[in-house]
Copies of this chain bind each other. A is one copy, B any other.
Amino acid sequence: MTRRLWSDFVSKLEPYVPGEQPRVDNLVKLNTNENPYGPSPQVGEAITAELGAELRLYPPPNADRLKQAIADYHKVNIQQVFVGNGSDEVLAHAFNGLFRHGKPLLFPDITYSFYPVYCGLYEIEGRKVPLTDSFEIAVEDYCVPNGGIIFPNPNAPTGRLLALDQIASLLKNNRDSVVCVDEAYIDFGGDSAIALVEEFDNLLVIQTLSKSRSLAGLRLGFAIGHPQLIEALERIKNSFNSYPVSRLAIAGGVAAFADEAYFQQTCEAVISSREALVAALEKLGFEVIPSAANFALARHPNYSGEYLMTALRERNIIVRHFGAARIEQFLRITVGTPQQIDLLLTALTEIIN
């Protein structure tokens, strides 16, 4: 059989390739920006309480309990909240529902590599706007006709943060486009653009519970924005899957937002480890892009990114290397525990000397 039964566009898709999830013992896994600390113990308790006979019942289709917890936490109204099966699903619906306008969608040349994949899936023209030489977003470069703007803040894989006043300026200059700020890493060192949703009806902020809440394995993401933007996402969701968020994910997500002390403590531990990692990498001669995220993008003047990645891999340490233009010399290193960082630094010292 050929692919004769495929819809035409399927052959043209270039699917996203996620970082590996190898099943190797004692692996130092610093390749997919997971949180080195587990989720709040309250999450496990809440999920355990949700097990049993209720699992036979469909979840509440609107996941209202989770939406309310997020709304309360971020001091917005429940009509300003959308939840999904990981922020990737939320992003997909945003592309489909808010970015298909026959004009190009703008995003940085160096950014989350899923964006061009969504463009392929929804037949949107994506236009890459180059970052500055120092890998920064220059908002004035986005003052061109567009069907939407999206970028992560902090950006990935650079880690660089864009200040809120710059985002406000971007929103002001693009009132007829949805500006989507993808804040997967915001809790590790930035101010959320959620502060701007009351002022700008064209702003959609997307966050995930995979990073700062340490729930990558549970699959939860959400969006906050004007109710009319949220309604577009709801219409797509209700035309795609009535119940994208499981009973266990609802219970676990609510518990994650309830345990503020644990959240603060683990975020601070990650931030403090990042600062230590960056200082140590610089001491080894690496150039490190200033990061507000739970990873650092770094290159060494004498060793290629690919070489270092491979040499680390031989020592059972995995980091992420992108073959893409401008960053092919870099490694993206997730901030692990202090122990994992020690192992990484020891290995790098060995490789470099």
Q: Which residues of A contact B (CB under 8 A)?
A: 1-10, 13-19, 21, 23, 29, 32, 34-39, 43-44, 47-48, 51-61, 85-86, 88-89, 92, 96-101, 114, 117-118, 120-121, 176-178, 201-202, 210, 214-219, 226, 228-229, 232, 234-249, 252
How far apart are A128's CB and chain B's nearest CB, in angstroms? 18
Nearest 5 CB-CB pairings of A with B: A15-B238, A38-B53, A217-B247, A7-B100, A18-B242
Q: Determine if A18 and B243 form an interchain contact, defined as CB atoms under 8 angstroms apart.
A: yes
A-B contact pairs, 22 of them (CB 8 A): A1-B201, A5-B98, A5-B228, A5-B229, A6-B232, A8-B100, A13-B239, A18-B243, A21-B57, A32-B57, A32-B58, A34-B58, A38-B56, A39-B55, A44-B52, A88-B241, A88-B243, A89-B240, A89-B241, A121-B240, A217-B248, A218-B246
Q: Determine if A38 and B13 form an interchain contact, defined as CB atoms under 8 angstroms apart.
A: no
Chain B residues, CB < 8 A from A38: 52-56
State A56–B336 Cα separation when bound (angstroms): 12
Given contacts A56-B215, A246-B219, contact A235 B15 (CB under 8 A): yes
How far apart are A57's CB and chain B's nearest CB, in angstroms? 5
Chain B residues, CB < 8 A from A218: 55, 246-248
Count identical subunits in the complex. Answer: 2
User: Which residue of chain B has the shortest Cβ distance to A43 in the bound complex?
Assistant: B55
| New contact pairs (19) apart from A1-B201, A44-B52, A56-B217, CB-CB < 8 Å | A5-B98, A5-B228, A5-B229, A6-B232, A13-B236, A15-B234, A16-B238, A16-B239, A21-B59, A38-B54, A44-B55, A47-B47, A55-B215, A55-B252, A56-B216, A58-B216, A85-B241, A117-B239, A248-B248
State A17–B1 Cα separation when bound (angstroms): 37
User: Which residue of chain B has the shortest Cβ distance to A204 in the bound complex?
Assistant: B5
Chain B residues, CB < 8 A from A248: 47, 217-218, 246, 248
State A39–B17 Cα separation when bound (angstroms): 34
Chain B residues, CB < 8 A from A15: 234-235, 237-239
User: Which residue of chain B has the shortest Cβ distance to A238 in the bound complex?
Assistant: B15
Chain B residues, CB < 8 A from A86: 241, 243-244
- With most chain B CB atoms within 10 A of its CB, the pick from A23, A101, A218 is A218
State A107–B17 Cα separation when bound (angstroms): 35
Q: Determine if B7 and A98 form an interchain contact, defined as CB atoms under 8 angstroms apart.
A: yes
Q: Determine if A44 and B51 form an interchain contact, defined as CB atoms under 8 angstroms apart.
A: yes
Q: Which of B10, B60, B178, B234 contacts A5 (CB 8 A)?
A: B178
- With most chain B CB atoms within 10 A of its CB, the pick from A21, A57, A210 is A57
Chain B residues, CB < 8 A from A18: 58, 61, 242-243
Q: Determine if A92 and B56 form an interchain contact, defined as CB atoms under 8 angstroms apart.
A: no
Q: Which of B4, B19, B37 contacts A176 (CB 8 A)?
A: B4
